[in-house]
Structure 1
């Protein structure tokens, strides 16, 4: 007799997650809460239905009665590092007070946490969620601050204390290793910057002269031997001249990119609406529809952000130029921690499989014959936004257009970025 088959059922992963003993919170890339464990709800005195779908820092603001509170700032910086690097980020112990429900007296309760933030990717390697995991170390910190060493008082807490000490030791080791790696990377960066300075000097002085000579002699040959050259000869000489000019433009773009990493940021309040409209007035005539939604003001280096808008709007014009009815939309939206700007077009689009290459130097997803360019413009956009402490990303589909986004921190003073 054939053995009876026992049906297999997929486990309820949401139920497993919510009932696990750890303190876990899942966020989307807008820092909106999408899932939470029961243990986290208990530790933070919150209810699932009251926090799901809300922005993280709307649910967990800083204690307004503590002028030194920096929990939201530190946590936001950690989450942004995860989004920018795609790697987990271990934070030192944070003082981050929790708001008590009204039926428990209201106000804020002092809490200390040991957080770790990790990325969650989909099958295509795109960042979809952030996993925020914390350990409540309030009792341990209080014992340390109070200096309680009496055996009778500590006996009941010794096991918990030991476990927390071990975990904190491991966290300290992680931070020490990260600091060591950061120091090494800074040394490598200094060496790379020195090499870049030498390269920039060489490009400026040694490459321009032969390029000018190539263009000049090709022009002279075309003019002096015009009667002896046929149409194909003239076409080939024009290719030489066009290629030398393209190389010159590429050199200019590379020099511009290299200077972005060295020039100090000059941050001021910027009327982004006025800046974008100013850039658009200086663009070549556009035969399609252009729409500007309301754009919030921000703080940053006006010259550098102006270049961002030039590059993004130029790309939108260029890649929508072959559409039957070209259309471009510039829009924005704000949250508690950042302002996000978008430039959307209905042009050539791109294959999302190559998204990782899009903001790298010399990476082109369309041939130069179809759409001229040097492949440096989006790298400049990414460099400028990164220097402002923001992030940049894109969405697209072949033949259906693309949307380029960049986000800048809300209310940032810029002091940290200026001293990076």
Structure 2
């Protein structure tokens, strides 16, 4: 099936009532046929629903549809994008290990890697996606993952996925891509060498700022990287917390399986069935919306690039942008999503502009049908030092825009009056 058909139909075969819409299975628990059936489910002799912290029929459709859109073997939904990123790290790393993360990333991811993981004994190391050769000096025998964003929020400095994959493969390390900004409609990192993809589905997937959620997708054949790999011994040895289960010996995708049986079981960052249902509605229109977001953002970026008060515009869809060749290589028809950023003279000027828009709303979110303006240095990246802000591509005068589905001419006029106020 083609992408737009997958977005509408994948993962749902109907039910006994013949409902066209995927039902909301708003339940915490499920009745077993008998005691033997219950025991078989817990022993994985049979597959089925046990408890909604682990699985739910509505969430199951969401996961299957998302995996199909990304071209992956399996997916697992989480309660938020932050939970998805944390589970991706926690599923491979333990005290003494390290994760290598791109400096050009969302502020929350940088904080997680630099500070929160440290309390678990896991070190965060940071590389510049413009210089992938830096990875060679950072990877050692305790490195468990390389992590980057396809379109980084808010610097928009894209990475060469194939080059990162080449380095990761040479060292036998998993490569994980955050595909939130590009979305599964515009980019498929698994096809370009990533092993895993994570999303904050709170953004473009739901599309209207209605529900928190996250997703992890693993590629076909990831088990071949994990099996016999000393970096991931816990996937190859009996799991004492699950009656000696060895994940690489089962005919199921091992990364998402362990996320479900160990992390969702013990940490519980599970989406509600209602939120999964809202995300399913968003997926149905995702490919169409991403085309409009991209067209609108390009028009806004072109306007800003020509404005005398704007020092620089970051948008991979602009031919003048350093990431333009990578956008043409990795993004569908070069469409670069709805996120862009631009720089003005100072922090004070940036905040004045953010306060002066009328259609753009001052909100710390992206991927909404409504257009959003944010000053990252004082909000999403406030916890970073001046040096860290520069390294992340977030100078004090940077403004982030999430271009919605309004008429681009109205958005341009709104920005014009704010810049010239």
The TM-score, its normalising length taken from structure 1, stands at 0.30
The structure with more radius of gyration: 1
Could you say which structure has the greater relative contact order, defined with CA pairs below 8 angstroms and 6 or more residues apart? Answer: 2
Larger proportion of strand: 1
